[in-house]
Each structure stands twice: as structure tokens, then as C-alpha cells.
Amino acid sequence: MKNLEDMTNYFHDGVSITPKKGDLLISEPFLPDPNFERTVVLLCENNEDGTIGFILNKPSMVNLGDVFEDLSHFDKKVLVGGPVQQDSMHFLHKGVVNLDGGSKISEGIYWGGNFEQMKVLIQNNNIRSQDVLYFLGYSGWAPGQLDQELKENSWIVSTQATVNQVFDLDPELIWREVLKNMGGKYRMFSNYPTDPRLN
């Protein structure tokens, strides 16, 4: 097994990749940042002002009803979207309902919208638990910061996330599953142990 310094040369093969809205960022197997260890981030914005995304596989300790008492019947674990502004609530949904102010990320994946409308839909049982993801905080990069992290091979880019990847995969499995589905060398990465000393 190659050491980490050698291994990172494989991630992008020197090809310049510009991630875009709707792409997934998969953390490299041994990324030392505890905020992003073995995470998959859906990018919702990437432009000259910076980058915003949400971690899809980092459950918090609370349910939605713990945050909003009037939604106590909606049994849905809230995810940690990232280390930025963890006192803020965000959500992704499948677009099965019309919400004012929502933003289409890719086919069948929408970001935000009128949260009061969403609460009414939940209270009236007009939206299914599996059609929405809720996040405390988000992942953010200043202009140029993500580009630098890509050059350092901290992330692998998977283009255009699917509805299944975002909403249906078990958070404990999504990191491995996305890499396996990318095939080739990425399938090999999916089997790396968490501790590189075990190689």
C-alpha cells in the first residue's frame, strides 16, 4: 500500500476540475479535518462569491421536533450541514411540493424555500419524511479556498448527484457507495480503513 503522499497523486490525475452546483464532494480517505472526515457534501452554490454545500452523512443528536415543538410528530433526524453557523436551519427537498423561494440544484433536488409553508405541509402530513433533509449549519468556502483544497487532493468530485444518492442512501454508507459507484481507483479508495496505520 502506498503512503498518503503517494496516494493523493491518484485523485485527480492532474486534471483541473471545477465543481458546480449539484456536484458531490467526497472527502479523501484520510482527510485530517474532523469536520469533514469521510463526508459527502452536496454543492448548492459555487461562484465568484464562494461555495456553499451541505454534508449528507453527519447526523446530529436531535430530531426536527426537538428544534420545533410544533413538529414533534415528524420523526426526522437533523443532519449537521457543516461547521458554519450551526445555529441556522436549512433544508433540501425533492421538489414534490411547490415552495416559494426554493432553488433547483439538479433534477429532483431543491434547496430551501419558505419554511413556514414547509411546516404547514409537515403538520398536515402532506410531505413524507424521506422527501426532505434538514441541516443545522452549512459548509462554506471563501473564494478560491475550495480550488486550493482540490489542488491539495482533499476532495474527490462526483458530478451531478442523483436523488437516490442525496435522499435515499443510508448516511453510514453513502461515502463508500458513492466512491464504489464511481468505479476504478475510487472503488479501491472506498475500502480503505479509517486509520491509515492499518494498511
So what's the pLDDT on residue 56?
98
**Domain annotation covers residue 42:** yes
Q: Confidence class of residue 12 from pLDDT cuts 50, 70 and 90?
A: very low
**Domain annotation covers residue 71:** yes
Q: Report the length, in residues, of the chain.
A: 199
140 close to 82: Cβ distance less than 8 angstroms: yes
**Domain annotation covers residue 52:** yes
Closest CA to 21 of 157, 133, 148: 157
91 or 123, which is more confident?
91
Q: How far is CA 129 from CA 17, 75, 97, in A?
A: 34, 7, 13
So what's the pLDDT on residue 197?
57
- The radius of gyration of the chain's CA atoms, rounded to the nearest angstrom, is 17
**Domain annotation covers residue 14:** yes
Strand boundaries in 38-190, DSSP class E: 40-47, 50-55, 59-63, 77-80, 84-93, 103-106, 109-111, 132-141, 155-158
Q: State pTM to two decimals.
A: 0.88
105: domain CATH number? 3.40.1740.10
**Domain annotation covers residue 194:** no
So what's the pLDDT on residue 16?
55
Please count the structural domains in the chain: 1
Mean pLDDT of 134-159: 94
Mean pLDDT of 128-142: 94
Does the pLDDT of residue 192 top 90, yes or no? Answer: no
Q: Which domain holds residue 143?
A: 4-174
**Domain annotation covers residue 193:** no
- Reported as a single tens digit per residue, the pLDDT across 26-44 is 999 999 899 999 999 999 9
**Domain annotation covers residue 191:** no
